[in-house]
Chains A and B, each alone.
Chain A
Amino acid sequence: MTADLAIDVRGMTKRFGDLTAIDHVDLQVRTGEICGFLGPNGSGKTTFIRMLCGLLRADAGGGICLGHDVIKESDAVKRQVGYMTQRFSFYEDLSIAENLDFVARMYSLKDRRSAVRESLVRLGLEQRRDQLAGQLSGGWKQRLALAACMIHRPRLLLLDEPTAGVDPKARREFWEEIHVLAGQGLTFLIATHYMDEAERCHRLAFISGGSLLTHGTTAEVIDQAHLTTWSVSGPDLLTLAGRLRAHPGVGQAVAFGSALHVSGDDAASLEEAIAPFRTGQYEWKRIDSGLEDVFIQMMEKARRDVSP
């Protein structure tokens, strides 16, 4: 079973003083899988990724990453992992080629020159090889970062919000590249805030307040939430939303274009809540819950559980 798991960690815990940033998180990711890592700001995504690649010491827990002990063999793990930081963290006063060359040396690659050349070609950076990294736009910086963290042919890539600040076209190209690489057997753990990106992942893990709330495929995650969603259109939806939110059966009421999505995890209670408004002026329609509805629901629930 462990053979096809790239990541298999259990009970991972990290404390910063009194704050428990990561609280007994278990996570399994299969080889060749793209695992989306979701959660609100400050939920512990970055901390967890840093623990996996040995940048932060775990206070408890442990496990296997690419066949090595995550805690004790962190050097061996580092050699096979590519980590792309949230903030651009290559040298802005080095050119693209110089940055790649630096990384190639760091991993003691045997055929360094051709590795650098290949990676320039693969990411379409050869025209800009002598350009200073600091002068690149966000999209190109992100390409460089991806090229650099893949130059040593890692088996697992940990990407921390890789597409923040990247335009839609570049994002799409980026994801296509990810899927090609996953097809070749690379494993990905990608932290993201974007729902469309989450839907492109094979599996999702949702973390909030340091705890893993759910883990599974998109369909599984939606199913597990047992969320009922209604779409309503009509006049003055803003007032309607305010009145609906006051009812305990309504988890959320969010505007989507000219419609309002109203959802709750108890179908009966939700129906009771919307019953008074099912009049002629509003048009109600039951719809499938989307990933975003599910996540917002979970975030709200997690928030309520923490501060009752």
Chain B
Amino acid sequence: MSGYGFSPSRFCAMVVKEFIQMRRDRLTFGMMIGIPIVQLILFGFAINADPRHLPAAVLLADRGAQGRTLLYAVRNSSYFDFVREVKTEAEGQDALARGEVQFVVNIPENFTRDLLRGDRPAVLIEADATDPSATGNALGALRTLFSTALQNDLKGPLSFLADAEGPVELRIHARYNPEGITYYNIVPGLMGVILTMTMVIITGLAITRERERGTMENLLSMPTRPVEVLIGKIIPYILVGYIQIGLVLAVAYFLFHVPMVGSPILLFAVALVFIIANLSMGITFSTVAKNQLQAMQMAFFFFLPSIMLSGFMFPFRGMPRWAQAIGEILPLTHFLRIVRGILLKGNGAEEVVLQLWQIALFAAVVLTIGVKRYRRTLD
């Protein structure tokens, strides 16, 4: 029995040792508590599969009373917030392309006249349908709304208008993704998600690895500058990032037949900023973390909100303000807008720059922190 049977003493030794080690590793313990809390908050509060108060623009070519009634009804559905009025169709297109608004509602010229004549004027709703799940419910609500909205206005002599198919024709243009194919939205988004995950982890390990293997002491004894070390560690992975982009684009195009309306070259160019932002994040974690495990945990802690609050998994506009504010800081949020913008909307440099500078700012801030945190001594 003393030899190879189950020994309670050996078993206890193992359990006790594990408890001691767990208690010593504060960060891991904190993560075990912190990650569930963050997940609960994000899933519980931030995520909303039925986004309301989506920003909409209105092109009001007819200022009659019935048009107004219709707009009020649209707003009262709580799905739409009219944030601006556009003067021309082109202005509306721009606002959609930039992602400033999710919808443009067109009340056509002579709307009132045609309505009263019984000509069933058409109200055109243009929707940014890159993410079908963000617009689906709102558009569904519109259909019921249009049949009832004008009931109060169309009484007495006008009541003949309220019958049958309804007084107004609702015409919906689901722009950029007319068939509402979910993976048109997901696959380009995955490019950003994959880059975020791999780039942050890969450089997250970079400095901690040197420290764990003892090579840091040697590196520090040589006349190097922090910038040389940090940027030097980033460069090779930019290439890796580009390989990933090429891979995702090829799969998106050949396997999923995702449309590529805009310029892939532009995408390649701007992706550089995004890759650098993520690598900088990783390398900065690396200067803070004590060992590789901690760096991995930090990377995960960054990845979690990135994937949930960026608009990748859930509609960005469905989230509460605070969650959107966090989302706006994250590079993935802006990159998703860029990728979807270029591939599905055909956006050009002008629209892209609006998002790009925010990623660049993130990279600059994070890298500065990294360079400052990088310790030139072993203190």
Contacts and interface: CB of A to CB of B under 8 A. Distances in A.
Contacts of A100: none
Given A55-B220, A78-B223, A103-B222, A50 B215 contact: no
A89 B223 contact: no
B221 interface: yes
B221 A57 contact: no
A174 interface: no
B165 interface: no
Given A55-B377, A55-B378, A56-B379, A89 B222 contact: no
B217 interface: yes
A274 to B, nearest CB: 48
B223 A90 contact: no
A206 interface: no
Interface string B191-213: 00000000000000000000001
A81 B379 CA distance: 20
B215 A57 contact: no
Nearest to B221: A83
B218 interface: yes
Contact of B221 (A53, A91, A92): A53
A282 interface: no
A22 B378 CA distance: 15
A270 B377 CA distance: 48
Interface in A51-85: 53-57, 75, 78-79, 81, 83, 85
Contacts of B223: 75, 78-79, 106-107
Nearest to B213: A92
B214 A89 contact: yes
Interface residues of B, number: 14
A88 interface: yes
Nearest to B224: A106
Interface string B213-252: 1111110111110000000000000000000000000000
Nearest to B215: A89
Given A50-B378, A55-B377, A85 B222 contact: no
A87 interface: yes
Of the four ranges (under 10, 10 to 19, 20 to 34, 35 or more), the interface on chain A belongs to 20 to 34
B221 A54 contact: yes
A89 B209 CA distance: 12
Contacts of A50: 217, 378
B227 to A, nearest CB: 14
Contacts of A89: 213-218
A107 B228 CA distance: 13
Contact of A55 (B214, B215, B221, B224): B221
Contacts of B213: 89, 91-92
B222 A106 contact: yes
A75 B218 CA distance: 14
Max count, chain A CB within 10 A of own CB: residue among B213, B223, B378? B223
A157 B38 CA distance: 52
A290 B215 CA distance: 38
B374 to A, nearest CB: 14
Nearest to B378: A55
A83 B224 CA distance: 14
B267 to A, nearest CB: 34
Contacts of A85: 214, 217-218, 221
A53 B222 CA distance: 9
Contact of B214 (A53, A87, A107): A87
B176 to A, nearest CB: 47
A56 B378 contact: yes
Nearest to A106: B222
Interface string B154-165: 000000000000
B171 to A, nearest CB: 63
Contacts of B378: 50, 55-56
Contact of B222 (A78, A87, A88, A92): A78
Contacts of B377: 54-57
Q: For B216, B218, B223, which residue has the most chain A Cβ atoms within 10 angstroms?
A: B218
A59 to B, nearest CB: 10
Interface string A222-258: 0000000000000000000000000000000000000
A53 B221 CA distance: 6
A89 B223 CA distance: 16
Contact of B218 (A57, A79, A90): A90
A79 B225 CA distance: 13
Contacts of A103: 222
Contacts of A54: 220-221, 377
Nearest to A91: B215
A57 B375 CA distance: 11
A55 B379 CA distance: 8
A106 B214 CA distance: 17
Interface in B333-379: 377-379
Contacts of A91: 213, 215
A7 to B, nearest CB: 16
Interface in A87-102: 87-92
Contact of A78 (B214, B215, B216, B221): B221
A92 B214 CA distance: 11
B236 to A, nearest CB: 14
A103 B216 CA distance: 13
Interface in A5-57: 50, 53-57
| Of B214, B217, B221, B377, most A-chain CB atoms within 10 Å | B221
Nearest to A49: B221
A81 B221 CA distance: 9
21 contacts: A50-B378, A54-B220, A54-B221, A55-B217, A55-B377, A56-B377, A56-B378, A57-B377, A75-B223, A78-B221, A78-B222, A78-B223, A83-B218, A83-B221, A87-B214, A87-B217, A89-B216, A89-B217, A91-B213, A92-B213, A106-B223
8 closest cross-chain pairs (CB), A and B: A89-B218, A83-B221, A78-B223, A106-B222, A89-B214, A87-B214, A55-B378, A79-B223
Given A89-B217, A91-B213, 13 more contacts: A50-B217, A50-B378, A54-B221, A54-B377, A55-B377, A56-B378, A57-B379, A78-B223, A85-B214, A89-B215, A89-B216, A92-B213, A106-B222
